[in-house]
Amino acid sequence: MTLRPAEADSGIRFRRLDVPGSAPIVATYEHVSDTLLCTTVASDEGVKVATIEHLMAAFAGCGVDNVLVELDGPEVPAMDGSAAPFVFLLECADLVEQDVPRRWIRVLKPVHVHDGDRSASLAPADGFLLSFQIEFDSPAVARQSHFVDLRNGAFKTDLCRARTFGFANDVDRLRALGLARGGSLDNAVVVAGDRVLNDDGLRYDNEFVRHKLLDSIGDLYLAGGPLLARFSGDRSGHALNNMLLKKLFADKFAWCHTDTPPGTMLPAWDWGARAATA
């Protein structure tokens, strides 16, 4: 995977170099084609890129608006199962502030979706605030909740190192479906009953729910820009997150664009539009 600089207002795009002649895929909620275990985007011609959520979260957390992602295969590299390696590489490459206002998406009224006991919602706010709660039968996970105010480097300090997780008794079933074939203790936290099987244990006491927040940030960045909103997730996942964006944008009275939102407490540097440099 290679990240290349992009012009202002070009957005985040994915290009498959192993599919000659294929057009870049614009990373927006409208191009999501699959949400089973990960978020996949596809072009109108059916060219796909899977597992984009951790990279998208890194872009959101680092303030990257415009970048071209080139891949020689159908999936973003798993790395260690978190967004930390992507954040590290973006910081090493450095970012360039572009001479255009950064366009934010302000949520104007509450939007809510649910599927059984799972739910996700957006509400008006002057920043980007997120809360999440999960509950699993496994004693190692149990019930966890976490809140984050995504400013002043909070993504890097509080979320980016949280890894994806799975359960040992699901591995055989997933591999029979052709999924998780590259999964290992090197790129996921694996739980068996009340034990975490990784030798190094957990990176945060509540790493599981923090990773669900990380996933949500990546999924919500498919809005096409940063949100001014409060997100709440209760056992939500990729499918509900995408459904939430579709419901938001289906109501023209539920959102608007703004370049310099009044009353915000975010520092001034957060308002500059940015692109990643190679």
H or E element that contains 162: none
Neighbours of 40 (CB within 10 A): 21
Helix and strand totals (H; E) in the chain: 6, 19
Q: What is the rounded radius of gyration, in angstroms, for the C-alpha atoms of the chain?
A: 18
Q: How many residues does the chain have?
A: 278
One of 54, 146, 211, 238 is an active-site residue; which one?
238
Question: What is the distance, to the nearest Å, from the Cα of residue 32 to the centroid of all Cα atoms in its chain?
Answer: 13
Annotation says 146 is catalytic = no
3-state secondary structure 219-273: HHHHHCCCEEEEEEEECCCHHHHHHHHHHHHHCCCCEEEECCCCCCCCCHHHHEE
Q: Are 69 and 3 in contact (CB under 8 A)?
A: yes
Match 């997120």 to its residue by tokens.
130
Catalytic residues: 238
